[in-house]
A and B are shown apart, each in its own frame.
Chain A
Amino acid sequence: MEGGNLELSRYRDKSYLVNYELTIDIFESFGLIVDDIVPVRSVFMLYTNKGAKILKKIDYSLGELEYINSLMRYVNKNGYKYIAPFMNTVDGNFYLKRPDGIYVVIDLIEGREADFQNPIDLSSVSKALCRFHNSTRGFTCTIEKRNNLNKWIMTFERRASDLVKFREIASLHEIKTGFDNLYLKYVDEYLDEAKESITLLKESPYPKLCTESYNNKNVCHHDLAYHNIIINSENDVYLVDFDYCIADLRIHDIGNLIVKAIKNCKWDIEKAKKIIEDYSSVDALKSEELQVLYDFLIFPQDFYDISRCYYMKTKNWDEYDFLSRLETKAGYYDDRKTFFNNFKQGIAF
């Protein structure tokens, strides 16, 4: 980096990166000479004398970071090699603690982001996910915050009551926005789905699966966005960004992967079936797991997420963005219905 000066104009549009206090001593602590820096989403890509790296500022506790680091080492030791470990500082720590926060550096995985529209990628990802889950078995969760076992029902009940609260807020608005109107149009139908999900989970083998999982000690990645899955030239599937990993049933990850893969293709049941088949080709899902997967999927998570962002003001989007997102999510109500009918008949029971 010439004279330690960054080209600040490149970062003006990245408001979430302003929390990084980028100074040369961060790089020196990791023994890096940085030639260029490129902002990508919430991290910085570094071009260094030791190859391309990712610099990340952690927004959770040191205890949680240590949990993630131990998990990554454990998984690697258990045979899932496709994970980029944290780089050590010159002092031998895997993180750098500074007054403004904790920083980690990770190797940049060369490859392309997974494409859930590509059946070959999706098949590779489903199989890799199963291998990853298997490699987490036996890893003990020492942090209660990162333990999600037996918490689904409670969480869904809280979210269902949030949907009711948002309905009250929308009804109270004297001048209703487009979002309010659309939300009010759909909320009762989605609330019914939320309640159905909760009732089904209460009657399901969910507690039994949690007990088994507690004994087996499974961990979920919990953030399987396409950009967190990198496929290299040898078709190896790398999982990156373990910020949200939790101890949970493996069907949590599978359910999230299914929704991400099918929500933009009219909730295509065949695609969901293929994910389950590919995953099961490595280690078969039991019929009890498929039943609970159905109960999990029926909760209208997408509808809840966008409503929460809007009414709790957690995202700085404009009104049009919110509305168009809600339109998309509300728009696939019928496709979801058809999907669940087919799921019952063709997959779960």
Chain B
Amino acid sequence: MPDISDLKLRIEVEYGIRVKDIFEFKDELLFSSSNNIYFLRKDKMKETDFISVGGLYEYLKANGFKNMLKAYCTIKGKYYIKSSNEYYMIFDHIDSEDFSIFNDGKLMARFLAKFHKCARGFMPPAGGRIKSYWGRWTEEYCKKYKDIKNFEEKMASIDKKTAADEAFLKSLGKYMERMQKSISMLKSDGYLDIVEESMKAHEVCIKSFKQSYFYKNESNINIKYLNKCGYDIYEKDISDFMCKIVESGMDDIKDLKELIYVYKCENFSRNYNKDIIRAFLLFPEQYVKVCCKYMKNNDKFAQEKYIEKLKCAEHIEDKKMELVDALN
């Protein structure tokens, strides 16, 4: 539990906001002043990360980006305070309209394009540290491929296989082939050329498409928090977004392709590389996730649960594959 009196004192001194009341509401820490309700968000990031996040708010604002939850800065211009060894940021408390990534795909695509455009060129202020994912994906995928290969060997060596063991073993070959193809596409010069271009332009990506990170307001999608943002190529964000859309249930390939078109119309800061998006989509992330969970915890009492999870992951991967073919 936070030290409420210390927190109140810090808000009043550092932000210059007169606090009337601090209270918990639906697991959130809120406080009120005479004319507003604010939301206090605790985060486990390091101070250097907060410096960077604050810098990104300023940068986006300066570039005319309006689709984000209003974050408050202290009198000294910092976007965080520390109380009882925890860091907090202060945001406006909002009541969001009903929103789902499934129904609002086009709005989301437009939002993503706008964010990319406005965040382009960002450099953290002195002492700030932004996460960087540039050029990592070949290595990350190779590691995952090796893990799955070990998983296959382990499965094959089991004498008395359960139904779930059999189901996993049956599907492994197909997905390992997909993984290899994805890796070899990323190993082409095209990927590193794009990474190099992205590094020069300082492209910033959203990196997380969890629905709770966004809200809808006046028919626009807005982002709540920038703490997951990091340097990466736009193609990765686009493919992550497409995966999220497929996971949410959208399975009409024409609609999915249209989302990329909507994105492209809004962000023409550079030509995106279709083959790199295809390579990312080709990599069976969902399938790998389920395999890894099974590897760590193949509880014999949860066999049916895992078979169900496997089927679900395979369905998503099939849809992604259709999209890969459609983008060809």
Please determine whether A120 and B140 come into contact, CB atoms closer than 8 angstroms.
no
Within 8 A of A (CB), among B97-155: 123-124, 126-127, 129-130, 132, 134-136, 138-140, 142-143, 146
Please pick, from A52, A112, A115, A265, the residue contacting B135 in the complex, using a CB distance under 8 A.
A115
- For residue A268, CB closer than 8 A to chain B, the reply is yes
Residues of B within 8 A of A108 (CB): 126-127
Residues 242-272 of chain A: 1 if any B CB is under 8 Å from the residue's CB, otherwise 0? 0000000000000000000000111010010
Interface hit among A39-47, A95-103, A163-171, A214-222? A39-47
With a 10 A CB-CB cut-off, give which of B127, B140, B202, B231 has the most chain A CB atoms: B127
- For residue B157, CB closer than 8 A to chain A, the reply is no
| Nearest chain B CB to A247 CB, angstrom units | 33
Residues of B within 8 A of A79 (CB): none
Bound-complex Cα distance A39 to B87 (A): 14
Residues of B within 8 A of A9 (CB): 82-85
Please determine whether B135 and A266 come into contact, CB atoms closer than 8 angstroms.
no
Total A-B pairs, Cβ < 8 A: 74
Residues of A within 8 A of B123 (CB): 110, 233
| Nearest chain A CB to B239 CB, angstrom units | 18
- For residue B243, CB closer than 8 A to chain A, the reply is no
Closest residue of chain B to A233 (Cβ to Cβ) is B123
Number of interface residues of B (CB under 8 A): 31
Within 8 A of A (CB), among B187-241: 192, 195-196, 199, 202, 231
- For residue A145, CB closer than 8 A to chain B, the reply is no
Please pick, from A36, A112, A121, A271, the residue contacting B129 in the complex, using a CB distance under 8 A.
A112
Please determine whether A52 and B196 come into contact, CB atoms closer than 8 angstroms.
no
Closest residue of chain A to B130 (Cβ to Cβ) is A112
Please determine whether A117 and B48 come into contact, CB atoms closer than 8 angstroms.
no
- For residue B76, CB closer than 8 A to chain A, the reply is yes
- For residue B51, CB closer than 8 A to chain A, the reply is yes
Residues of B within 8 A of A7 (CB): 82
- For residue B275, CB closer than 8 A to chain A, the reply is no
* A10 touching B82 in the complex, CB below 8 Å, given contacts A52-B126, A52-B127, A120-B134: yes
Please determine whether A119 and B142 come into contact, CB atoms closer than 8 angstroms.
no
Please determine whether B126 and A266 come into contact, CB atoms closer than 8 angstroms.
no
- For residue A22, CB closer than 8 A to chain B, the reply is no
Residues 73-92 of chain B: 1 if any A CB is under 8 Å from the residue's CB, otherwise 0? 00010100011110000000
* A118 touching B126 in the complex, CB below 8 Å, given contacts A9-B82, A9-B85, A39-B47: no
Please determine whether B127 and A47 come into contact, CB atoms closer than 8 angstroms.
yes
- A interface SS class: mixed
Residues of B within 8 A of A120 (CB): 134-135, 192, 195-196, 199
Number of interface residues of A (CB under 8 A): 31
* A12 touching B85 in the complex, CB below 8 Å, given contacts A47-B127, A120-B196: yes
Please determine whether B82 and A117 come into contact, CB atoms closer than 8 angstroms.
no
With a 10 A CB-CB cut-off, give which of B83, B139, B202 has the most chain A CB atoms: B139
Closest residue of chain A to B136 (Cβ to Cβ) is A117
Closest residue of chain B to A36 (Cβ to Cβ) is B76
A–B complex contacts, Cβ < 8 Å, 29 sampled: A7-B82, A10-B47, A10-B82, A36-B78, A38-B47, A38-B48, A38-B127, A40-B48, A45-B48, A47-B127, A52-B127, A108-B127, A110-B123, A110-B126, A112-B124, A112-B129, A115-B132, A115-B134, A115-B135, A117-B135, A117-B139, A117-B140, A118-B132, A118-B135, A120-B192, A120-B196, A265-B139, A266-B142, A268-B139
Q: Given A112-B132, A118-B136, A119-B192, 5 other A-B contacts at CB below 8 A?
A: A9-B83, A108-B127, A120-B199, A121-B134, A266-B146
B interface residues (Cβ-Cβ under 8 A, vs A):
47-48, 51, 76, 78, 82-85, 123-124, 126-127, 129-130, 132, 134-136, 138-140, 142-143, 146, 192, 195-196, 199, 202, 231
